[in-house]
Copies of this chain bind each other. A is one copy, B any other.
Amino acid sequence: MDDTEDQGPADDAILELAEQPLGSLHRPLSQVVADAIRQAIVGGQFTPGMRLVEDRLAAKFGVSRNPVREAVRALAAEGLITVVPRHGAVVADLSAEEVRETVEVRATLEGMNARLAARHCDQAVVRRLHDILAAGLAAVRSAQVGALPVLNAQFHDTLGSAGRNRVLTDLLRTLRERTGHFFPTGGPDHAVKTWNEHAEILNAVVAGDEELASLLAQRHVKSAEATAATDQ
């Protein structure tokens, strides 16, 4: 009976190790490099328009050009980098119009996702969302602005998973990354607004109110854009 499920503690540890396949943790260099570049872009170290020369990146990361090339191409597919044939790659520098279009699509999809989240309302996820929300509101009150970007990302990621549509989740993640580093992190008043909106969205989701959740999520995206635009 417990032959398959529950064995001795020692065996358990071994099994646990085996069930987390080590192989899947060994990511190819191209992915490691891609993550590093992605972090550098969203973290603001690589600024829009900056050239990405394969040789230099390869030297910087201590790898050959090939993994770097693959990483650059992958990030280009995500929209974080622009590659011009025979000229090279630069960190994507979107025009105001392109940012607007991206935000427009993102707003629609965030709305859709909130609607799905309200429909498939899951207790465990809701609990996690409440925790993140509480942490966010606490950080806002104590003016711990440093923790806010991480909490914000966590809230949106978790809400994304609540919609139970992986295609949508993936799309939203890349769309968020594409425009994220164009908006400077707003001031404290902006943070208050953001987290109040988060609270309202979560309320609507918990209440199972699809229409309201969708509407609030859409507005949330658009208001963030408007705030950032006026801030600049």
Residues of chain A having any CB pair with chain B under 8 Å: 23-24, 26-28, 31, 66, 69-70, 73-74, 77-78, 85-86, 98, 101-102, 104-105, 108-109, 112, 165-168, 171
B27 touches A101 (CB 8 A): no
B98 touches A105 (CB 8 A): no
12 A-B pairs with CB atoms under 8 Å apart are A27-B85, A73-B73, A73-B74, A74-B77, A77-B77, A101-B165, A101-B167, A104-B167, A104-B168, A108-B109, A109-B109, A171-B171
In the complex, besides A70-B70, A108-B112, 14 extra interface pairs with C-beta distance below 8 angstroms are A23-B86, A24-B85, A31-B85, A69-B70, A73-B73, A73-B74, A77-B77, A101-B168, A104-B167, A105-B109, A105-B165, A105-B168, A105-B171, A108-B108
A166 contacts which chain B residues (CB < 8 A)? 98, 101
Q: Which 7 A-B pairs have the closest CB atoms?
A: A77-B77, A101-B167, A101-B165, A108-B112, A102-B167, A105-B167, A105-B168
A26 contacts which chain B residues (CB < 8 A)? 85
Question: Given the complex of chains A and B, what is the CA–CA distance between A69 and B73 in angstroms?
Answer: 11
Question: Given the complex of chains A and B, what is the CA–CA distance between A26 and B85 in angstroms?
Answer: 9
What is the CB-to-nearest-CB distance from A93 to chain B, in angstroms, rounded to a whole number? 15
B77 touches A165 (CB 8 A): no
